[in-house]
Structure 1
Amino acid sequence: MSRLMAGAALALVMAAPVHAQDAEAPAGDAVVGEEAAPGTQSGEATDQTNDPAAADTDDDDDEEAEAEEAGGVYEAGGMHEYGFSGLLDRQNRTELAPLTLASGQPVAGGEYTIKSGGYYRIEINADGSQELALSGGDFFRAIWINEIVIEDIEIRPMGVHSIEFDSAGTARLSFIAVLPGRYTLSVPGSSGDTLQAVFNIQ
């Protein structure tokens, strides 16, 4: 009986190293045969990568997350504060000297110098002495027309080439100057300097 017990104890002692080798290494121990990554401690997870593309992807994900949190609202910073009505607020509007359509009379008293981005209003007065028009496709393409008012009728056109008066009346034109340059509004078929209005947009 004592021999059997001695043999069993010897078998347990011999099997212990085998079980120790089969057991998993503790989390804090380094695995034999593998080198730890530089700058990390043994057993520390190395999830970080040196791939620049992966870093960029992480940044993009952060930006997308921020955009989603903002609710898809993008705000552009403006150069000027124009008030509640924006650029077309009355306080931003400049009244120009009127133009005149009359037989034997100059159209304008001088050249106009206006600023690109400025909001302006000008009246065109006809006395009915002759059927006259003002034409200037280049000028009308260099401005954005807010409206043309004729006898309390407001017209908001997509484009204009000329304005003709068959009888006496007034047309009020409000516009924003856009394209810098020198432009003229002139009576069609005329060649005199007095039968045109010159606009210098700076």
Structure 2
Amino acid sequence: MKKLLPALALFASLIPLAGHTAGYLATKPQALPDLVFGIDEAGYQVSQPRYELETGKSYSLKIVSSGRKEYAVRAPEFFTFIWLRKVEAGGMEIKASALYELEFEEEGEAEIFFVPIKPGTYSISAAGLEHKGAEAQIKVK
């Protein structure tokens, strides 16, 4: 019985930790500045040319179309190296394991919730419009 008491005391001390979210990376995401495509009159420039993120931290990023052009927003390497929690768009939550493209045919927005998992420098851009300025860089440390 004397040997059992220390084990019971240890077990009892762990009970308050049940349901504790320590280690859950997606809680309380840090909201990044919105990435707006088409902030200039021509419809090509982005509002935020650069982001700096850290692996293992939770973020949310609102991607916004000004409606000046059609934007097929792609970030193939970045989308490959994030854990995607969800996408919110059009009044709904989309639970998916990966993203390929966010296509905006008119004004609108989509917010992605994610955790970066691999360091590197990535591009997020409107397909075919990168050379005109519709591109931002994401650096993950």
Q: Measure, in 1, the Cα distance between the counterparts of 2:53 and 2:132.
A: 20
Q: Please say if 1:97 is aligned against 2:36.
A: no
RMSD: 1.9
TM-score (norm 1): 0.54
TM-score (norm 2): 0.76
**In the alignment, which residue of structure 2 is the partner of 1:87?**
25
Contact 1:148 1:173 in 2 (8 A): yes
Query: How many residues matched?
Result: 119
Larger Rg over CA atoms: 1
**In the alignment, which residue of structure 1 is the partner of 2:6?**
none
Q: What CA deviation, in whole Å up to 9, does each residue of 1:97-146 have, x standing for no partner? A: 11112253422423111001010001011122221121111110011111
Question: Following superposition, which runs of at least 4 residues in structure 1 exceed 6 angstroms of deviation?
Answer: none
Contact 2:26 2:57 in 1 (8 A): no
Residue 143 of structure 1, aligned match among 53, 57, 82: 82
Q: Measure, in 1, the Cα distance between the counterparts of 2:66 and 2:43.
A: 11
Q: Measure, in 1, the Cα distance between the counterparts of 2:61 and 2:84.
A: 11
Identity %: 24
Q: 1:180 to 1:126 in 2, by over 3 A?
A: same
Indicate the structure with greater helix content: 1
Q: Measure, in 1, the Cα distance between the counterparts of 2:132 and 2:67.
A: 21
1:12-91 equivalences in 2 (<5 Å): 83=21, 86-90=24-28
Deviation at 1:193, TM superposition (A): 6.7
Indicate the structure with greater strand content: 2
- 3-state secondary structure, aligned to 1:192: helix
Higher-RCO chain (CA-CA 8 Å, sequence separation at least 6): 2
